[in-house]
Structure 1
């Protein structure tokens, strides 16, 4: 009995990815995602039928968001669309090594040949959000019956807070947990009744 094995050495990049030029962030949340352009070499056609060729997309680190393959039917261009998770979601991830910004890598590999892949990296800067925040601003109503309010900031908590009427209102930090893109901080707002 004889066993014959054929080995094909691929010397060129079969899958290449280009990262978007802008810095990635999750606030404001990009509803259309970020486009990582995916190109598959024409030379791959010599190694089999590429009709319906598909690829999968992965995010590293995976807790930052998710990615899906997408083809623009008008242009025929292929992409990995990256959708970052919101600050509310990222606050659940707890790590001592978390930073305000991290490098995110998107990897694309052929669906039936996982070892054939390419990747690209981009800078991700986490934003922050305020719990119960309205569309345009946060409104705190302080009345004589309840002259203090608690606000919670999720995400990058390394921020400075400025407010109007500083002689009437006092903003005091009361709790801070974590830092970077998965932080949580609470502030007490107190003072004469009114609203900001």
Structure 2
């Protein structure tokens, strides 16, 4: 469950309110100014009134714990986090450590399953620098799912890849949504989502 109760002020000093309860296995579709402001609030870059609560974890009261349950994928996050010295496997392990994910047997099994889902099982020990652009995006996508997020924010991220890759990435997101996660999809009304995933316009 995601509870959003926030009051924001845009650059024109207009008041923008979001007051919504979102059930598990749902997608919130956001566009334009409201999406931009909500992202600024959730990333700690903008003052606001109210709170956002994810499965009883308050963003205002415990942002660190809240952030541990959120994965963000966006064009603006496309930085060169990898280097020519890291293999795909090393990159994912490093990404997991940064996210406080234990490198235990469950993690190893999850990593293997996600690499196979993304068609990268044969690339596991190749250098990141040698991958095709679509493949590097898929590796970053896998990295964001290693902590098994409860809230997944996608900000035009699918526009970075070819159609076949996009479909595979959407299928993985749908699996998490059907398992009880919640998605926030920004500036994307074209994607058709599997039932019983609920789509909410804000």
TM class by smaller structure: under 0.3
Largest Rg, 1 or 2: 1
- Between 1 and 2, higher relative CO (CA 8 Å, sep ≥ 6) is seen in 2
User: What TM-score results when the alignment is normalised by the length of structure 1?
Assistant: 0.19
More helix by share: 2
More strand by share: 1
